[in-house]
């Protein structure tokens, strides 16, 4: 498995020189300052490839080549947007970057209600609390229909939270919910989010799936032509939020996507944390079932509560047996090696991490502290090494 590390480019407080000390060899990054929908030019890609190489790494995965909201909404004339997307793909392939992680979540990316929930042994973690998310939807966004999306108990608790909340609590909740949007983009305020939700009205699960199928039909042939690997990142949390359908949340969804346009180029990012937040998802079983299509892995763990809340556990703790998941990935690598695939190694990265020790002073991207991720990477690397040697 290829040990990799997510780097936000020059926006990142953690330098490539520091990342070298983690022992990672792959860099997972994106060109965060190019607006969605524009072409990633060959020159800009080449400069990033060079920068990463100079520091002793390979840019092994793009995360993400973002999909314009208009494509997700199937909104208007999309030819130019698809052309641009394909052009970016060709430019990446021309510079030797072949694996692309992307998501099909409408509007928001990963969503949490708390970015610094204290952990018993010290430090803090990211948390999604159902009652706070419900309060945000029902009372801050005035979306009464959200009451149908949460249990009556959670709705009651949401009201209690809202009634006791101060302006500062509400601001912090908004900021936390917005934190998952990558890069340096503007976050929505409440009014902005309400406006952004309007064009999604009437887009249900089937409509979003139809738009997703169209996207795959447009881009997978180009990916095949250039030997590229696309791997969709699951929804986080794996449930509808803000009245927006989320269609990459469980085994059936993944099966639908991989069958919509069957191709080795149409694959999955196995994110054990995102999928792990849905009690119906059995991660080792998913890893085994979709093994051949896993082009990238995000390894992370969550601990779930009965009411749909969850928080991020240390990488080897939490509800998912990470050792068994890693064993499945290693089994798949062995299969790829046996059939003579040169690219048999699956790139993986420690996803998120607790904020530990000095992390609190460093102002890194939420969820992406240095020490917390380093701990996760070291622990997982131990698991990978031990299982690999045992299999020899």
Give the residue numbers marked as catalytic: 233, 271, 298, 351-352, 368
**128 or 161: CB nearest ligand DNO:** 128
Among 5, 57, 59, 110, binds ligand DNO (CB under 6 A): 110
What stretch of H or E contains 324? Answer: helix 322-338
Strands of the chain, DSSP E? 2-6, 26-29, 58-63, 99-103, 114-118, 124-128, 229-233, 266-271, 294-299, 301-304, 310-313, 347-350
**150 or 295: CB nearest ligand DNO:** 295
Is there binding between residue 97 and ligand DNO (CB under 6 A)? no
Among 1, 22, 63, 257, binds ligand DNO (CB under 6 A): 63
Edge-to-edge strand list for the sheet holding 124-128:
114-118, 124-128, 310-313, 301-304
Q: Which residue has the tokens 């080449």?
A: 46
Residue range at the interface with ligand DNO (CB under 6 A); choices 34-42, 103-111, 239-247, 313-321 = 103-111
**32 or 336: CB nearest ligand DNO:** 32
Rounded least distance, CB 8 to ligand DNO, Å: 10
Is there binding between residue 328 and ligand DNO (CB under 6 A)? no
Q: Which of residues 273-292 bind ligand DNO (CB under 6 A)?
A: none
**101 or 203: CB nearest ligand DNO:** 101
Is there binding between residue 137 and ligand DNO (CB under 6 A)? no
Q: Which of residues 182-201 bind ligand DNO (CB under 6 A)?
A: 182
How many Cβ atoms are within 10 Å of 386's Cβ, its own excluded? 12
Rounded least distance, CB 104 to ligand DNO, Å: 9
Rounded least distance, CB 267 to ligand DNO, Å: 13
The Cα–Cα gap between 46 and 363 comes to: 29
| Cis ω before 217 (30° cut-off from 0) | no
Is there binding between residue 112 and ligand DNO (CB under 6 A)? no
Is there binding between residue 309 and ligand DNO (CB under 6 A)? no
User: Of 346, 338, 375, 229, nearest to 287 (Cα)?
Assistant: 346
Cβ–Cβ < 8 Å for 58, 83: no
* Angle between the N-to-C axes of helices 322-338 and 370-391, in degrees from 0 to 180, rounded to the nearest 10: 60
Q: Which residue has the tokens 């009437």?
A: 202
The Cα–Cα gap between 136 and 146 comes to: 10
The pairing of strands 58-63 and 347-350 is unpaired
Q: Which two tokens stand for residue 342?
A: 């040169």
Rounded least distance, CB 318 to ligand DNO, Å: 16
Among 318, 367, 369, 372, binds ligand DNO (CB under 6 A): 367
| Cis ω before 64 (30° cut-off from 0) | yes
Residue range at the interface with ligand DNO (CB under 6 A); choices 19-27, 99-107, 113-121, 251-259 = 99-107
Residue range at the interface with ligand DNO (CB under 6 A); choices 85-93, 96-104, 196-204, 339-347 = 96-104
Rounded least distance, CB 103 to ligand DNO, Å: 4
**101 or 261: CB nearest ligand DNO:** 101
Q: Which of residues 223-242 bind ligand DNO (CB under 6 A)?
A: 233
Q: How far is CA 114 from the centre of its chain?
A: 17
Is there binding between residue 351 and ligand DNO (CB under 6 A)? yes
The pairing of strands 124-128 and 114-118 is antiparallel
Is there binding between residue 354 and ligand DNO (CB under 6 A)? no
Q: Which residues contact 281 (CB under 8 A, 6 or more apart)?
A: 238, 250, 251, 275
User: Of 181, 186, 284, nearest to 236 (Cα)?
Assistant: 181
Is there binding between residue 109 and ligand DNO (CB under 6 A)? yes
Residues facing 124 on adjacent strands = 118, 355
Is there binding between residue 127 and ligand DNO (CB under 6 A)? no
Residue range at the interface with ligand DNO (CB under 6 A); choices 12-20, 102-110, 285-293, 320-328 = 102-110
**239 or 331: CB nearest ligand DNO:** 239
Residues that bind ligand DNO (CB under 6 A): 63-64, 101-103, 109-110, 180, 182, 233, 271, 298, 351-352, 367
């Amino acid at each position: 498995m290829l040990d990799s590390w997510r780097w936000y480019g020059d926006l990142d407080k953690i330098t490539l020189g520091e990342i070298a000390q983690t022992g990672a060899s792959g860099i997972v990054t994106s060109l965060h300052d190019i607006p969605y929908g524009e072409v990633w030019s060959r020159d800009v890609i080449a400069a990033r490839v060079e920068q990463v190489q100079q520091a002793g790494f390979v840019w092994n995965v793009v995360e993400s080549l973002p999909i314009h909201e208009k494509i997700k909404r199937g909104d208007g004339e999309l030819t130019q947007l698809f052309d641009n997307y394909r052009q970016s793909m060709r430019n990446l392939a021309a510079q030797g970057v072949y694996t692309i992680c992307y998501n099909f979540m409408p509007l928001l990316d990963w969503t949490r209600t708390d970015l610094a929930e204290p952990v018993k042994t010290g430090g803090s973690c990211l948390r999604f609390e159902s009652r706070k998310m419900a309060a945000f939807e029902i009372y801050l966004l005035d979306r009464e229909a959200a009451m149908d999306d949460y249990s009556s108990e959670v709705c009651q608790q949401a009201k209690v939270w809202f009634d006791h909340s101060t302006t500062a609590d509400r601001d912090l909740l908004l900021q936390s919910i917005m934190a998952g949007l990558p890069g340096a983009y503007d976050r929505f305020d409440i009014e902005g989010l309400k406006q952004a939700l309007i064009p999604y009205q009437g887009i249900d699960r089937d409509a979003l799936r139809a738009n997703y199928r169209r996207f795959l039909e447009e881009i997978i042939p180009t990916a095949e032509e250039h030997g590229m690997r696309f791997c969709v990142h699951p929804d986080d949390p794996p449930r509808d939020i803000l009245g927006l359908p989320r269609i990459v949340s469980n085994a059936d969804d993944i099966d639908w996507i991989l069958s919509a346009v069957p191709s080795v180029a149409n694959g999955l990012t196995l994110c054990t944390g995102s999928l792990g937040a849905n009690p119906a998802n059995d991660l080792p079983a998913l890893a085994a079932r979709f093994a051949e299509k896993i082009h990238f892995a995000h390894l992370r763990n969550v601990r779930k509560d009965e009411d749909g809340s969850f928080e991020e556990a240390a990488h080897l703790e939490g509800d998912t047996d990470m050792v068994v998941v890693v064993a499945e990935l290693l089994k798949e690598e062995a299969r790829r090696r046996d059939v003579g695939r040169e690219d048999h190694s699956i790139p993986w990265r420690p996803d998120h991490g607790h904020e530990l020790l000095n992390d609190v002073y460093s102002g890194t991207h939420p969820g992406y502290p240095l020490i917390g991720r380093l701990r996760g990477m070291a622990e997982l690397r131990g698991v990978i090494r031990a299982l690999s040697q045992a299999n020899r």
